[in-house]
Amino acid sequence: MIVFALFFSLLMGLLGFAIDAGQFLYAKRQLQSAVDAAALAGALEESQCGSTSDCTIMQTAAAQAVVENGFPSPATYTNCNSAANSQIGMTLVVNNGPCALGAGDPNQGSSKYVEVIATLRQNTMFWGMLGMRHVKIAARAEATVGAPSGCVFILDPNASQAFLFNGGATISAPCGIQVNSSSSTAFEYDGGSLTAKYLNVVGSDLINDGGSGLDAAVKTGASSVADPLASLPAPTIGACGTSTSSPYHGVSYGALLNAGASTFYPGVYCGGITLNANATATFNPGLYIIKGPVVIGASDTVTGSDVTFYFESNSWTSNGAASANLSAPTTGTYAGILFYQAHGDTDTFILDSNTTSAFQGTFYLPDGPLTINGGANLAAYMLLDVHDLTVDSGVNLTIGTDYSSLPNGSPLGSSGAQAALTE
């Protein structure tokens, strides 16, 4: 009986030890999952922080991810703050860039990475008899955000043929296309060559020729996505310019340019700009406010670097073999934004050009359709965030995704981006 009692006591002790150890390991796994989610959530907000590391938005996202995984709201610290070590409850340390491992982390100090460390006091059941009433568990994760996988966003929520791709056209996009329309014919494909990483359609598609030239993973019934540029502010509109000849600094009437060269500077162009008869227009860097149509003739040439065209009303039309070489700014509020059509402006933007043209930047037409009638695009990158999109025969367009000229990467920031754990 004595031996049995001693053996039973030892057995119960081992069982209690095993139960506490199992609970400890389970809690550790749960905490690791929560920290993984927190690092991913923080990384997705990195673009919102600008030059401020560990910004409030990032901290809030990381803490919320922990709560959504079943843990209590944590006390949040940043930049490897040692004060977190003295806390009793749940703590979260958000480091942007990583600092906990020092030089042992190849991503140390990089603002492109978010490191999250969580600690939690775990109560014990049986270990308390040995004086261990609780143990502290910890988990660490590190994440970053890759380039956005989407480069074409079609925002119309209801239209039939929100994305119409006509036979004879060619588009190559090493990225994804999102069609938000819930129509049964939201995407209509009538032939030609369309290559994309994926094509997500909220509604359904109509593929008329069996899709022999369609090289994309088409998914119907997909989830709608928010406008990735919805928070982009509209510029302040000043008074119309008063220029009457080149060089122009804004006009108070529709500028009509015939043969010859003209130079433009940022300003407010009321009445728009019309080029014809072999005109050449050079746009100097800056923001152009357009209150009227811009029409580029088939034999005209337009050039400009670090430019943004904001259409308060009307839109852009380029015809036939027009030659264009335009690029968006690389810094500032409108970095990566080439064309911005005001919310509520439903005018159709018509793009046609010769085969050597380059439109480097984003076409942001939140309520306006884009029709691409012909031509090509030799730019390093191009993003379309438009209400509707029609691609006609004769188009041979490559949508580049080389954002190396932009210090902060894609103008879409983390919209459409994919966060990934690195540690």
d(CA 420, CA 414): 12
- pLDDT, position 2: 67
Domain ranges in the chain? 2-145, 150-417
Site of tokens 């982009």: 232
Task: Give the tens place of pLDDT for each residue, 125-171.
Answer: 554 555 555 667 888 999 887 656 789 999 999 999 999 999 889 99
Task: Give the tens place of pLDDT for each residue, 187-216.
Answer: 999 999 999 999 999 999 999 888 889 999
> Could you give phi then psi for residue 54, rounded to 5 degrees?
50, 40
- pLDDT, position 310: 98
Q: Which is more confidently placed, 131 or 379?
A: 379
Our measurement of the distance from residue 219's CA atom to the centroid of its chain's CA atoms, rounded to an integer in Å, reads 20
In a 3-state reduction of DSSP, which class is residue 3?
Answer: helix
3-state DSSP of 340-399 = EECCCCCCCEEECCCCCCEEEEEEEEEEEEEEECCECCCCCEEEEEEEEEEECCCEEEEC
pTM for this predicted structure: 0.69
3-state DSSP of 41-107 = HHHHCHHHHCCCCCCHHHHHHHHHHHHHCCCCCCEEEECCCHHHHHCCCCEEEEECCCCCCHHHCCC
d(CA 154, CA 363): 11
Does the pLDDT at position 62 exceed 70? yes
Vertex 132: Cα angle to 129 and 133 (nearest 5): 85
Task: Give the tens place of pLDDT for each residue, 310-334.
Answer: 999 999 998 877 889 999 999 999 9
Asked if residue 324 lies in contact with residue 291, where contact means CB atoms within 8 angstroms, the answer is: no
Strand-by-strand arrangement of the 419-421 sheet:
75-78, 91-95, 113-123, 134-145, 419-421
* Residue 248, amino acid: Y
d(CA 379, CA 78): 40
Question: How many C-beta atoms lie closer than 10 Å to residue 213's C-beta?
Answer: 17
Tokens representing residue 361 in the block: 């930047």
